């Protein structure tokens, strides 16, 4: 460093936990504009005001980093959607559906980005996504008070795909009313699951 000017000292030392959280947070903020796997270490480090090297101190590989970001996004969704334990089980699914649609309405782009990135390409990211879907099936099946056999799991999972796709289209171009959408989804699920 040059003699006469002391270097940039706005960079504070943070605790390990804080830094990790900050980095993941930055990843979440970039999600809507960039597919997870295309986040560049450079960009994230720049936004955090740190060097590339430091990011690699917290996340051994780039993949480890964006997997963490993906998991964080999934957790946000899950905690928002999960049923309140007091609700009678018959209405839990309806509530979850309602909250899911609300979530997509609120975070349009970032949610669509999440879903796209999740299905696509990288197996590590897909794993996080599949894991989340699996957890949701568990919740749904117990809320519906139905046994958890292979066939029903597949049907509910496929219904998720249906729901995701339809809701994604619906927020972009609402071809029916919100209650109609919810009723339709609920109806399809019921028919599928009570065969």
> How many alpha carbons fall within 13 Å on the CB side of residue 20?
11
Distance CA 156, CA 112 (A): 20
For residue 1, the partner it binds in its own copies, DNA, none, with Cβ less than 5 to 8 A by kind, is DNA
For residue 99, the partner it binds in its own copies, DNA, none, with Cβ less than 5 to 8 A by kind, is none
Binding-site member from 108, 126, 139, 171 for its own copies (CB under 8 A): 126
Calculate the alpha carbon distances from 174 to 53, 166, 170 in Å. 46, 10, 4
Distance CA 148, CA 9 (A): 58
For residue 11, the partner it binds in DNA, its own copies, none, with Cβ less than 5 to 8 A by kind, is DNA
| Sign, CA torsion 125/119/141/107 | positive
For residue 42, the partner it binds in DNA, its own copies, none, with Cβ less than 5 to 8 A by kind, is DNA
Which tokens hold the place of 133? Answer: 């879907």
Contact between 46 and DNA (CB under 7 A)? no
Binding-site member from 48, 76, 81, 188 for its own copies (CB under 8 A): 188
In the complex with its own copies, which residue's Cβ is closer, 83 or 152? Answer: 152
In the complex with DNA, which residue's Cβ is closer, 54 or 155? Answer: 54
**DSSP label of 51:** -
Binding-site member from 59, 66, 114, 159 for its own copies (CB under 8 A): 159
In the complex with its own copies, which residue's Cβ is closer, 50 or 125? Answer: 125
Binding footprint of DNA on the chain (CB under 7 A): 1, 9, 11-16, 19, 39-42, 49-54, 56-57, 60-63
Contact positions vs its own copies (CB under 8 A): 35-38, 115-122, 126, 149-151, 154-155, 157-166, 169-170, 173, 175-176, 188, 191-192
């Amino acid at each position: 460093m040059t003699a006469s000017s002391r270097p940039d000292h706005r960079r504070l030392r943070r605790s390990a936990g804080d830094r990790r959280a900050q980095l993941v947070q930055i990843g979440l903020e970039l999600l809507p504009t960039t597919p997870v796997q295309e986040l560049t270490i450079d960009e994230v480090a720049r936004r955090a005001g740190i060097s590339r090297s430091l990011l690699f101190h917290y996340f051994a590989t780039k993949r480890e980093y964006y997997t963490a970001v993906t998991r964080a996004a999934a957790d946000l969704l899950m905690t928002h959607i999960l049923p309140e334990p007091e609700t009678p089980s018959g209405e839990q699914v309806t509530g979850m559906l309602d909250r899911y649609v609300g979530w997509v309405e609120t975070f349009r782009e970032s949610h669509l980005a999440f879903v796209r990135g999740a299905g696509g390409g990288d197996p590590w990211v897909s794993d996080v996504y599949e894991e989340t879907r699996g957890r949701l099936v568990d919740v749904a099946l117990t809320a519906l008070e139905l046994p958890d056999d292979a066939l029903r799991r597949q049907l509910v999972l496929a219904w998720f795909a249906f729901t995701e796709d339809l809701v994604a289209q619906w927020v972009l171009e609402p071809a029916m009313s919100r209650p109609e959408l919810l009723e339709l989804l609920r109806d399809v699920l019921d028919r599928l699951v009570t065969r």
